[in-house]
Amino acid sequence: MSSSRITIPARRGKAAYLDRGQQVRVINTHGQQVIDTWAFNRDDLSECMSMEHLRTALGRIAVHGGDALVTNRRRPILQLVEDTSPGVHDTLLAACDRYRYELLGWTDYHDNCTDNLAAALGELGLAAPKPPSPWNLFMNIPVQPDGRLSFEPPVSQPGDYVLLQAEMDCVIAFSACPQDMVPINGVACTPTEAHFEIV
Amino acid sequence: MSSSRITIPARRGKAAYLDRGQQVRVINTHGQQVIDTWAFNRDDLSECMSMEHLRTALGRIAVHGGDALVTNRRRPILQLVEDTSPGVHDTLLAACDRYRYELLGWTDYHDNCTDNLAAALGELGLAAPKPPSPWNLFMNIPVQPDGRLSFEPPVSQPGDYVLLQAEMDCVIAFSACPQDMVPINGVACTPTEAHFEIV
């Protein structure tokens, strides 16, 4: 088994092709970085990993080891094979975008996961479809019994990873979330790089 | 104030134009019917009401009276003005589609909310965009403390309604959900018509 470590630069995105059966290890190198994650059918980008279809398939809002992550056609596209983190990832919230930062009071352009997805797919020569709701790896958004959400720092540690297996030929895309106005990337509000390895 | 009652036929969809400031009363005529609901910017259908952006905006998974429902550009498109039901509506799950019924064991074509959205927009001469995750009015999907979901009958009564106000010129679309294999439309698993009035 060979692998090479690919950098998801801080505040940026990166995408890669996966063949069915290949695995990708997504590493929270510095421990406190949220990694927005998308996957698309390589032969038809309109079929994508879909959180709203996933929640129906799982009958819950969280993903556990062994779970299949399904598309908007309700077919498995990834499987969560292993998770060395405490397993806290978000399925509920949209990727950040320039509108989010404008509402938070930012007046200039702010890096954001939505644009990072488009740029990452663009590096592969792919046109970005309407961005699906991402699987926000390591993002800690607890749901209170009354349905309230809070935006908390990750509970992962440096080097924690998730191992994903492609269940169809796909394109996988990541964004090291550039959120630095809300402490979802740690209390220091300092986005960092992360890495992945195709194994 | 004038209004006329428009039928959402059982197992079917219906769409209508709303001008900014107009209100629409969405009526659970028989009390146990889930009504999948979408809204689109009339001038740009790629801007749509988005549940994943809504949850960030609200900081919770449920919609309360007075809340603005936002788009994927994080702008208000609807406001929940009044709700005579107990307020149990779903923001988490995708619209049903033919794949959902296939997975439940149905072998022929089954009416579904995704196709109903396309047909309802088609009646207005509009091409359906990739279907956004709907706001599932009256749909009762409790979230347990451990994140598990269950598919329960509505807690609404005949004649319960929600009153929505358009915050921009928009197209609103409804589907009287044809789900008859899981008791989300009541324990009788018998989808019914519903109605709306533009007031």
Question: Is the pLDDT assigned to residue B166 strictly greater than 80?
Answer: yes
Contacts of A14 by beta carbon, 8 Å cutoff, 6+ apart = A6, A7, A8, A120, A123, A173, A174, A196
Sequence-distant contacts of B96-99: CB under 8 A, at least 24 apart? B96/B177, B96/B178, B96/B179, B97/A73, B97/A74, B99/A73, B99/A74, B99/A75
Contact B61 A93 (CB under 8 A): no
- Which of A47, A53, A144 is best to mutate for the B interface (most B CBs within 10 A)? A53
Kindly list the residues from chain B whose CB atom is less than 8 angstroms away from the CB atom of residue A99: 73-75
The confidence score (pLDDT) of residue B129 equals 86
CB B172 within 8 A of CB B18: yes
- Which residue of A53, A97, A149 is in closest CB contact with B55? A149
- The pTM score is 0.96
Q: What is the DSSP string of B100-156?
A: HHHHTT--S----HHHHHHHHHHHTTPPP-SPPPPEEET-B-PBPTTSBB--B----
Residue B129 contacts A where some CB pair is shorter than 8 Å: yes
Work out the percent of chain A whose per-residue pLDDT is above 90. Answer: 95
The beta strand positions in A74-193, using DSSP E, are: 76-83, 135-137, 160-166, 170-176
Q: What is the pLDDT of residue A128?
A: 80
Taking the C-alpha atoms of residue B187 and residue B185, their distance in angstroms, rounded to an integer, is 7
Which residues from chain A sit within 8 angstroms of residue B100, using beta carbons? Answer: 56, 74
ipTM comes to 0.96
Mean pLDDT of A16-20: 98
B147 vs A94: CB contact, 8 Å cut-off? no
Contact (CB<8Å) A148/B97: no
- Pairing mode, strands A170-176 and A68-70: unpaired
Q: What is the percent of chain B where pLDDT is above 70?
A: 98
Chain A: closest CA distance from residue B113 (Å): 13
Best mutation site among A45, A48, A52 for testing chain B: the one with the most B CBs within 10 Å? A52
Task: Examine the pLDDT at B45 and tell me if it is beyond 70.
Answer: yes
Mean pLDDT of chain A: 96
